[in-house]
Amino acid sequence: MTVVAPVTPLLEARALSFHRQDEPVFAPLDFQLHAGELALVEGDNGSGKTTLMRLLAGLLRAGEGELRWRGQPLQRDDCAGEIQFLGHQLGLKTDLSPRENLRFSRGLHGCRDGATIPGVLARVGLRGYEDEPVRRLSAGQKKRAALARLLLLPATLWLLDEPYANLDRIGIALVNELLAEHTAHGGAAMVTSHGAVSFHGGQPRRIRMHE
C-alpha cells in the first residue's frame, strides 16, 4: 500500500491574532489552506472577517501567532506576486476605463499565460464597456471590472472580501465559475460573505471567526 506524503499547505495560520488599541479583534485562529481548495470565512458582523483578509493580504501586521506560506514563515517579498486581494474598495481609478485600469495592473504584475485584456473583459461580461470610464459603470459592472483583474494577473491565492456584493444572479454565478476554474487549475481562494453561499463542487472548507 502506498503511503501518500502529506502535502504542504499553501497557507497556514497558527494562533493568529490581531490587536487594535490593545484589544483583540478576533480570537486566535488556526487553519490550513491547500492548493486547489476553497475556504469560506464565516462570522457575524464585526467578527473581524475583513481584518483577517487584510491581515492575510499583508495590509496589516499580525499581532501574535504565525503565518506560513508553503511551509515557510511568510515573507511578504516572497509571496507578493502570488496573492491577489479584492476588498471593499475595488482599487479601480474611476477616471480611467476598465481597459486602461487593466493595462496599468498588467504593467505592475505581469500577465497570466494566455490571458488578454479584451478576453478577460469579455469573460466577466463587460464586452462593449471596455472603454467607458469606470465612474459611469453601475456598481455591478464595477465589481465585474475588478474581477477581470483577478483573471488577468497571475496569482495562486485569491483573497476575496465580499465578492458577491453588488452582483445580480448572473454575477454571483460568474464568481462561482471563476472560483471553480481557479481552484481546478491549482489555485486556492478564501472568500468572505454575509449571505448564504453555494459554491460549485460541493462544500468548501469553513473557517469560523469568533470575537
Answer yes or no whether residue 15 interacts with another protein by CB under 8 A: no
Answer yes or no whether residue 22 interacts with another protein by CB under 8 A: yes
Q: Show the site string, 46-75: x = touches another protein by CB under 8 A, - = not.
A: -----------xxxxx--------------
If the CB atoms of residues 30 and 131 are measured against another protein, the closer one turns out to be: 131
Answer yes or no whether residue 202 interacts with another protein by CB under 8 A: no
Helix axes 169-184, 139-152, angle to 10 degrees: 10
Instruction: State which of residues 43, 87, 163, 204 lies at the interface with another protein (CB under 8 A).
Output: 87
- Cα–Cα dist 79/156, whole Å: 9
Integer angstrom CA distances of residue 153 from 18, 32, 107, 108, 110: 29, 24, 10, 9, 6
Answer yes or no whether residue 20 interacts with another protein by CB under 8 A: yes
Least distance from C-beta 176 to another protein, angstroms? 23
- Cα–Cα dist 211/209, whole Å: 7
Least distance from C-beta 26 to another protein, angstroms? 16
* Burial (CB count within 10 angstroms: exposed 0-12, middle 13-18, buried 19+), residue 20: exposed
Applying CB under 8 A, the span of 7-15, 26-34, 82-90, 124-132 interacting with another protein comes to 82-90
With contact defined as beta carbons under 8 Å apart, do 127 and 168 qualify? no
Least distance from C-beta 172 to another protein, angstroms? 22
Answer yes or no whether residue 138 interacts with another protein by CB under 8 A: no
Answer yes or no whether residue 95 interacts with another protein by CB under 8 A: yes
Applying CB under 8 A, the span of 65-73, 78-86, 173-181, 198-206 interacting with another protein comes to 78-86
Least distance from C-beta 169 to another protein, angstroms? 26
- Cα–Cα dist 8/169, whole Å: 36
Q: How many residues does the chain have?
A: 211
- Cα–Cα dist 20/169, whole Å: 37
- Cα–Cα dist 60/39, whole Å: 20
Answer yes or no whether residue 198 interacts with another protein by CB under 8 A: no
Tell me which residues touch another protein (CB under 8 A).
20-22, 57-61, 80-81, 83, 85, 87-96, 100, 103-113, 133, 154
